[in-house]
Amino acid sequence: MEIKTGAGVDAENKVIRVGLNADLSGIFAALTTKIVDGQLAFWEAVNDNGGLGDGWTVEPVVLDNAYDVPTHKQNYEIFSGDGEQSVVMLTNSTGSPHTAAIAQDLIEDDMAAIPLSWYSGWADPEIGKNVFEVQTNYCIEAMNAVSYLIETYGPKGAVAGLPGDYGEDGAIGAKYAIEQLGGELVYDGQAAVVPGADQTPVITGIAESGADWVWLTTSPGTTAEIIGGVEQAGFDGVWSGNSPSMNHALLDTALGPVLDAKYIQSTYTTLWGVGGEPGMSEMIDTMRQYRPDAPLDDVYIISWVEGLIAQQALEKALENGDITRAGVLAAMNEIQVDYHGLAPNQTWSGDPNDYVVRESYLYDMDSSVRTPGATVSDEGGTGFTLIQGPFVSDVAANWTYEPCFKPA
């Protein structure tokens, strides 16, 4: 069968290029560089094991967006062109505002993008028609976790987060769950956590609220600052937050004992070595073969999720005889992705209210299962014990999809 090709494809050598517009030097670089490295290992393994279709290989092209929106857009111009770094799709587009800045360009260029962002708006065709969100979103994640917090620890909740489509998406979901379950919002810090600002007002507000639990939608550094300040004031509630709010490395700091005793981690996927899913052993074996000295981290599951989506979409496009950008985009809208147990399987066809993923996971932060300084080759853990998941709360199950946060 003759394969239709275009920019981003070296038809003569049967090479398909995919792009990673990722933060390698900005505020999330510690996280994103590992995710990128994991995806590179994924493609090396795919290529070494016969590639795609009848011998096509995949060449990842990585550009650093430095977590800067203008740089992200400049990189996109390269990816969407027809030069040696042109690609058929983006397998990593780091950042919510960054991805939003290219969302219209993606439509004009018939290009698909996988965001490293869990903003609830991506499933809305008016916001993210060609942005293929992965797993559940910040808003539903918060609904699920807050339902658990109310049922387990009590009705009084404090909510605090960053301004914008990450922080406010999570805060809105948390507050919705409180309202639906008849809880009490004792501190409303939606958008109150301003990056780089003095967090004393937030710390004081939470400490004096009498909350049974706190939900944060912040960055790990800010999470540590807030928890440290509130705990010094004698707070006796528990802590949780949207997944990007926490970094397991904080277990190795002075805050470790507090996190071990009182922090519940919410996530979108299984975590390293937890559970016996086939995808977990496949990922661990591959990382040990291709990146034996890489630091042990849960973020490689995200690498694999991104890779599995792209692999299955490209295979479908080859099967359809069209690996142009438009052909890959069409394939993305056809497939149901099998994550091999790493996360709930996913599709993007039909009504968003029907296909949006509503399941998430909850873990107990647990120093006893953490191996500081370990590599992927060690038999170790990152410090999490599964509480439940994948699970969906009644609040999330009954919620009618719409973007929770919409920028003004």
Radius of gyration of the chain (CA): 21
pLDDT in tens, the chain (408 residues): 899 999 999 999 999 999 999 999 998 898 899 999 999 999 999 999 999 999 999 999 999 999 999 999 999 999 999 999 999 999 999 999 899 999 999 999 999 999 999 999 999 999 999 999 999 999 999 999 999 999 999 999 999 999 999 999 999 999 999 999 999 999 999 999 998 899 999 999 999 999 999 999 999 999 999 999 999 999 999 999 999 999 999 999 999 999 999 999 999 999 999 878 899 999 999 999 999 999 999 999 999 999 999 999 999 999 999 999 999 999 999 999 999 999 999 999 999 999 999 999 999 999 999 999 999 999 999 999 999 999 999 999 999 999 999 987
- pLDDT (0 to 100) of residue 1: 80
- pLDDT (0 to 100) of residue 28: 84
Question: Going by C-beta distance under 8 Å and a sequence separation of 6 or more, which residues neighbour residue 55?
Answer: 14
Distance separating the N- and C-terminal Cα atoms of the chain: 49
Tokens of 300: 């490689």
All structural domains of the chain with their residue ranges:
9-136+275-355, 138-267+359-398
Q: Please tell me the CATH code under which domain 138-267+359-398 is placed.
A: 3.40.50.2300
* Total length of the chain: 408
- pLDDT (0 to 100) of residue 93: 99
One fold for both 9-136+275-355 and 138-267+359-398? yes
Q: What is the pTM of this model?
A: 0.95
- pLDDT (0 to 100) of residue 252: 96
- pLDDT (0 to 100) of residue 133: 97
**Ranges assigned E (strand) in 7-163:** 9-10, 15-22, 57-64, 89-94, 112-116, 156-161
Tokens of 156: 């009084």
- pLDDT (0 to 100) of residue 375: 97
CATH class of 9-136+275-355: alpha beta
